């Protein structure tokens, strides 16, 4: 029994994400939740930058449930990787993954996860930012990682909880779990506020 479970045992929780990493992470603060995913258009206004992009897309994901008028607490999230003003998405090929990792090598990028909570017809949203600094990566390391871990489902072409995260990252600043796809600390606190 989790400390938040007792407070919210009258509320059904729905995680609207197909990411297995988010599902694993959420289990650490809620024992029970369902998963239901609705596809949305993930384009965003050009005027948005960084964390506001991730927050905007998470809001769109939550809005896909708003007409349901159900009693559940619905959690949506979106994670993006930004190198300066460039937003790195999921790579479509080995070459794209190589190019992304080559561009991240030796530099600091920012990972933003936006989260929206739809509860009682209202959406509360926020984002968290984590700065991640890569070592200089060799071609051998980049190609080894892509071949072994096939990071084609990951924005920015790497998972921090995989080999590249273990050996390629010099330092990070912020929430580790935010990089994995869900800022658990903030989420825990926002849910606490919402149900208080």
Q: Give the residue among 105, 102, 93, 82 at the shortest CA–CA distance from 155.
A: 82
**Contact positions with a second copy (CB under 8 A) in 135-154:** 135, 140-141, 144
Phi, psi of 15 (to 5 degrees): -100, 115
- Position 31 contacts a second copy (CB under 8 A): no
CB of 188 to a second copy, least distance (A): 4
- Please state, in angstroms and as integers, the Cα–Cα distance from residue 69 to each residue in 10, 11, 118, 123, following that order: 17, 14, 10, 12
Which residue of 13, 15, 29, 110 would you call a contact of a second copy, by CB under 8 A?
Answer: 29
Among 13, 14, 16, 25, interactor with a second copy by CB under 8 A = 25
CA distance 113 to 117: 13
Nearer to a second copy, 43 or 166 (CB): 166
Strand partners, 15: 35, 75
Minimum distance from residue 29 beta carbon to a second copy (Å)? 6
- The 3-state DSSP class for residue 4 equals helix
Considering only 108, 126, 185, 194, the residue that binds a second copy (CB under 8 A) is 185
- 56 near 45, Cβ under 8 Å? yes
Give 107 or 189: the residue with its C-beta nearer to a second copy: 189
Distance in Å, CB of 69 to a second copy, minimum: 30
DSSP 89: -
Number of residues that bind a second copy (CB under 8 A): 27
48 touches a second copy (CB under 8 A): no
Query: What distance in Å separates the CA atoms of residue 164 and residue 149, rounded to the nearest whole number?
Result: 9
Q: Active site includes 78?
A: yes
167 forms part of the interface with a second copy (CB under 8 A): yes
Hey, which bits of 19-85 come out as E strands? 34-35, 73-83
Which residues does the annotation mark as catalytic? Answer: 78
**Which residues would be at the binding site for a second copy (CB under 8 A)?**
2-3, 25, 28-29, 135, 140-141, 144, 160, 163, 166-177, 184-185, 188-189
């Amino acid at each position: 029994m989790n400390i938040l479970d007792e407070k919210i045992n009258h509320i059904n929780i729905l995680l609207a994400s197909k990411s297995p990493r988010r599902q694993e992470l959420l289990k650490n603060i809620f024992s029970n939740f369902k998963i239901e995913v609705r596809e949305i258009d993930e384009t965003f206004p050009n005027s948005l930058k960084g964390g506001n992009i991730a927050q905007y897309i998470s809001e769109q994901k939550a809005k896909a449930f708003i007409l349901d008028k159900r009693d559940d607490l619905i959690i949506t999230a979106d994670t993006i990787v930004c190198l300066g003003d460039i937003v790195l998405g999921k790579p479509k090929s080995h070459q794209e993954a190589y190019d992304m990792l080559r561009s991240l090598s030796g530099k600091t990028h920012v990972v933003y996860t936006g989260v929206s909570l739809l509860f009682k017809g209202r959406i509360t949203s926020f984002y968290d930012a984590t700065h991640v600094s890569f070592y200089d990566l060799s071609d051998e390391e980049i190609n080894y990682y892509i071949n072994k871990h096939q990071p084609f489902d990951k924005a920015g072409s790497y998972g921090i909880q995989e080999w590249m995260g273990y050996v390629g990252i010099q330092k990070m600043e912020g929430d580790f779990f935010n990089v994995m796809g869900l800022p658990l600390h903030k989420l825990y606190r926002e849910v606490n506020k919402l149900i208080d």
